[in-house]
Structure 1
């Protein structure tokens, strides 16, 4: 098993992959992480040329290409000499540097590697900016809109590489557990997109706790993709509230620290944040087998209904747990495969119907 994992600087890619390695060790799986960036610095040092981290992207492109090729030769040798092990190769798809894109991969070596899965680790752009501003290489280089564009480019390029090699591609948020990628690699669990009325749920603590309990139970049966692992919209709303009060700068709590941002910078990224929120959730539905809707409130959510319509119209079963006290909208019922009145009813159904594992592929018989 070989997995190529991409993610822009500041996305927490290596942090997430270390969680996957931890999960693999618990299960006794021989999984190894190879970080292309670190290996490039080590290779240059062995060759007598120590490169500063903040200067590596200023090196001439042919030199970077040569150094990357040397590292991939090393990667291939290690893989071929240890056939019983599985590998995650951590790399970039592209760099957004000095207002232009730099390629960060080599088609020849990707073909030689022939990965089984491609993955892109993503995070909300405010958290990414917070990390980049603490890195001398990136401090002051990218505004929020440029970060949003770069992350979108990273996902797009990786998805195209996977499509070219006819391999699956997944986007996984940094705040998902390491078991998410581990289960994609090794388990027979089907994949579920968890949809719920985020705004209404967050407003009531009991509903929020209910969603969390339901999600943890759902993970026992499915690989779960949770849209609430990205917080861009919530932070955008906070900044817009500050803007209405005439504030020019806002301090946001990010990853246990504080990020000071100009309101103007955030508003310039507003359309990107909104559009990418919708598109990202649709990508998560695309990579899922089913959509599971947990709906504990009576108020209709346009976002949930849109996700139901998208999933139902794109060949996904849509299972709805509706515990609201009022009647359901006919549109809600129309785009649901089945509606349950309780959590227990839903879990009993998926177990009894055997809906929690991927179906075994049938052999394709030749026509006589």
Structure 2
């Protein structure tokens, strides 16, 4: 649905319905609202439905507790009762709206007090939304930042360790992706730090083209050159602004302490100005296996959901990560473009030739190629 489509009311068949999940503290609600504003700026109408807000609207004679979070500490039947009321209201809103795009903001699951609880009513989705959901999205933020955000909320303070937050996010992603596969709809993992305009572009019909930006993060961080990091970020911005791509940038999720320190310098272990307690070395050590595993899985998921892979390699240092990503992209039959690769295009190894589609000496030439391909389509 292109920019001018919002000038006319969308029928139910034409409407784009996106199911957006994300754990507490991930800033999912802010991201979804920013995406809605970007959709409206394109001339399309957009309705945001926040299931948490609908839970607050349960009639007083049915309400249990003073906040939605209290429902997680009681009988799960009460949670189901409140959720059923909220979902019926959501269904009514979707049936009545004339918006071109509907963004539903909710949870896939909850982790609290060592217990994992479902955040979805699968029967309700199957009965009322089978074949109607255009895409599923999970919004993610750095695990340490989520832990700090929850530590500042009275209802969450002291409830979760860093490792539990990491596990919660993994479950949130896995359940949402599983639901997308069941429904035969695309799944996108979207970083809160990336522009929400990316989600807006993905709601177009057809969606805007997307790219995973691969670059030697560890090698760049070890070099101590912030200029190389800024170069990668500048490339991502140009791909968005000039080529119109949705860009999936792996450094938009800074889970590991060494990555966060290298990209966003500062004492991550110190108490911040809001008084949030520091993340202890014990908690970091406990969470490390999950965060390392998640970093690899996230990058491969970002490749899977992208239309192409762009390798930015402004260094002669060897990066096992980049070559692993190139191999994965080849296995998934993704077009792969090299940009500023050492020796390219004249002296690219014949083995490297097995992986890449084309090589470009400069960013300008790469962007011109991408634009010419879009014009050809």
Taking structure 1 as the reference length, the TM-score comes to 0.87
Change in Cα spacing, 1:253 to 1:196, as seen in structure 2 (3 Å) is farther
Residue 5 of structure 2 corresponds to which residue in structure 1?
none
Secondary structure class of the residue paired with 1:69? helix
Residue 223 (1) aligns with residue 246 (2):
yes
Separation in 2, partners of 1:258, 1:138: 12
8 A contact 1:121–1:173 mirrored in 2: yes
Residue 98 (1) aligns with residue 117 (2):
no
Residue 197 (1) aligns with residue 216 (2):
yes
Residue 184 of structure 1 corresponds to which residue in structure 2?
202
Which of residues 232, 238, 242 in structure 2 aligns to 1:211?
Answer: 232
1:153 deviates by: 0.5
Separation in 2, partners of 1:25, 1:277: 33
Residue 167 of structure 1 corresponds to which residue in structure 2?
185
Which of residues 343, 346, 359 in structure 1 aligns to 2:363?
Answer: 343
8 A contact 2:54–2:89 mirrored in 1: no
Residue 131 of structure 1 corresponds to which residue in structure 2?
149
Residue 3 (1) aligns with residue 14 (2):
no
Q: In proportion to residue count, which structure has more strand?
A: 1
8 A contact 1:183–1:189 mirrored in 2: yes
Which 5+ residue runs of structure 1 have no aligned equivalent? 240-248, 360-368
Which of residues 284, 290, 293 in structure 2 aligns to 1:275?
Answer: 293
Which of residues 17, 23, 27 in structure 2 aligns to 1:12?
Answer: 27
Change in Cα spacing, 1:93 to 1:255, as seen in structure 2 (3 Å) is farther
Query: Following superposition of structure 1 onto structure 2, how do residues 1-368 of structure 1 map, counting pairs within 5 Å?
Result: 1-45=16-60, 47=62, 51-111=66-126, 112-113=128-129, 114-186=132-204, 188-202=207-221, 203-219=224-240, 220-221=242-243, 222-235=245-258, 251-252=269-270, 260-324=278-342, 328=348, 330-352=350-372, 354-355=373-374
Change in Cα spacing, 1:58 to 1:356, as seen in structure 2 (3 Å) is farther
Change in Cα spacing, 1:5 to 1:282, as seen in structure 2 (3 Å) is same
Which 5+ residue runs of structure 2 have no aligned equivalent? 1-15
Residue 244 of structure 1 corresponds to which residue in structure 2?
none
Structure 1 range deviating more: 331-340 or 67-76: 331-340
1:49 deviates by: 5.1
Change in Cα spacing, 1:237 to 1:178, as seen in structure 2 (3 Å) is closer
Residue 11 of structure 2 corresponds to which residue in structure 1?
none
Secondary structure class of the residue paired with 2:57? helix
1:108 deviates by: 2.5
| Residue-by-residue CA offset, 1:259-283 (whole Å, 9 max, x unaligned) | 5111111111111111110011000
Taking structure 2 as the reference length, the TM-score comes to 0.85
Secondary structure class of the residue paired with 2:49? strand
| Residue-by-residue CA offset, 1:122-146 (whole Å, 9 max, x unaligned) | 1111001010101111111111111
1:91 deviates by: 0.8
Separation in 1, partners of 2:273, 2:290: 22
1:286 deviates by: 0.5
